[in-house]
Amino acid sequence: MAKLKALLLTQGMHGMISQVEGMAKALNVEFRHKIVRLSFPWNLIPPKFTPVSEIILKDKIYLTENDDLDLIISCGRKSVIPSILLKKKNPKLFTIHIQNPKVNLKNFDAVVAPDHDNVNGDNVYSSKGAIHYITETEINKAKEYLRGKIKSNKIISIILGGPNKYYSFNKNHIIKIFNQIKSDFISKGYEAIVVPSMRTPKKIIELAISEMGTCGHVVNSVDKQAYLSAYALATYVVVTCDSTSMISEAATSGKPVFVAHMKTKKNNYRFKKFFELFKDMGIIKDLGEKTEVWEYQKYNEAERISKILKNKIKN
């Protein structure tokens, strides 16, 4: 039987791409990506005040008979209206939106939202943390990728995010995090692997090289294989607090995960709810807490939810 075909809609941010691709892989469908770009002023206006019309699109999303699409999997604010628009053009499409669309949930066949979003409805499927595209198998396959860059078997892998509307990634905050890691781990014979993300500013990568370069290996560019290898080799993982997606991805490794907190620019209520959930699940601790080894049940929410959605799509 031929695989179903899906169009993935996001605004191009790594966390969103990870979520739609993770769901597509778990559903075992063929897929292609489309980056959504909205015209001014619609790129600034919430979806609930945006018309369901092609006038909002900076780049039109053309569908032809040859596309033979079955699914739309969207994530993020800017992809909400394009998904609804495509469904309007072709009612046979099965639409899945990841995260809270902040419009009537009945616009979609399914909405997948993390617990900390508090989204409820007959077609809502709640995930513990963010859906993502990282699998345990991929992590294990990448293990040897960074092996030659590090000498010790005691490894602390540090995953850096980047500034957003909640966290500024102040230089002093990052230095404080590095110093805490040196105190808790490097002083006890650990070597560090530092991995940046797509959102990590160049100046923060340079800071990591100057502060942590003598403590192990700093990856100086975005490298998915290095990212996966860092999880596979790690004894412990430290992830900056700015991304629930990265922390959710870290939990796939099964390694003890410390969250490196920074001062906030605004109320981070949703982040706090996420941190509380993952602490209750025994996955994370705050950087600075006692460095003991702990275990937890590995979660793959994309796999779990996809099993439910497969039946709904089939019916």
- Which CATH number does the domain housing residue 17 bear? 3.40.50.2000
Q: Say if residue 127 is in the same domain as residue 160.
A: no
Pairing status of strand 124-127 against strand 155-159: unpaired
Residue 53 is given by DSSP the state S
Q: Is the pLDDT assigned to residue 158 strictly greater than 80?
A: yes
Q: Is the pLDDT assigned to residue 266 strictly greater than 80?
A: yes
Q: Is the pLDDT assigned to residue 96 strictly greater than 90?
A: yes
The 10s digit of each residue's pLDDT in 35-65 is 999 999 999 999 999 999 999 998 877 655 4
Q: Do the domain assignments include residue 41?
A: yes
Neighbours of 96 (CB within 10 A): 28
> What is the crossing angle of helices 14-27 and 301-314, to 10°?
60
> Nearest CA to 235 among 284, 201, 185, 286?
185
Q: CA separation (Å) from 85 to 76, 108, 148?
A: 15, 11, 50
pTM of the model: 0.87
Q: Do the domain assignments include residue 296?
A: no
Q: Say if residue 112 is in the same domain as residue 163.
A: no
Q: Say if residue 91 is in the same domain as residue 219.
A: no
Residue 258 domain boundaries: 136-286
The pLDDT, as a whole number, for residue 2 is 77
The pLDDT, as a whole number, for residue 297 is 87
- What is the arithmetic mean of pLDDT over 11-18? 89
Q: How many domains does the chain have?
A: 2
Neighbours of 145 (CB within 10 A): 18
Share of the chain above pLDDT 90, in %: 83
The pLDDT, as a whole number, for residue 116 is 82
Read off the tokens for 38.
């909205």
With bands split at pLDDT 50, 70 and 90, how would you rate the model's confidence at 225? very high
Q: Say if residue 163 is in the same domain as residue 279.
A: yes
Q: Say if residue 105 is in the same domain as residue 189.
A: no
With bands split at pLDDT 50, 70 and 90, how would you rate the model's confidence at 1? low
Q: Say if residue 178 is in the same domain as residue 227.
A: yes
With vertex at residue 43, the alpha carbon angle to CA 101 and CA 123, rounded to the nearest 5 degrees, is: 10
Q: Say if residue 271 is in the same domain as residue 197.
A: yes
- Print the SS3 string covering 143-210: HHHHHHHCCCCCEEEEECCCCCCCCCCCHHHHHHHHHHHHHHCHHHCCEEEEECCCCCCHHHHHHHHH
The pLDDT, as a whole number, for residue 118 is 86
The set of residues, in sequence order, having a beta carbon less than 8 Å from that of 103 and lying 6+ positions away, is 47, 48, 80, 84
Q: Say if residue 122 is in the same domain as residue 142.
A: no
Q: Do the domain assignments include residue 297?
A: no
Q: Say if residue 120 is in the same domain as residue 143.
A: no
Read off the tokens for 168.
């500024």
Give the least confident one: 52-61, 144-153, 215-224, 259-268: 52-61
Q: Say if residue 176 is in the same domain as residue 73.
A: no
With bands split at pLDDT 50, 70 and 90, how would you rate the model's confidence at 27? very high
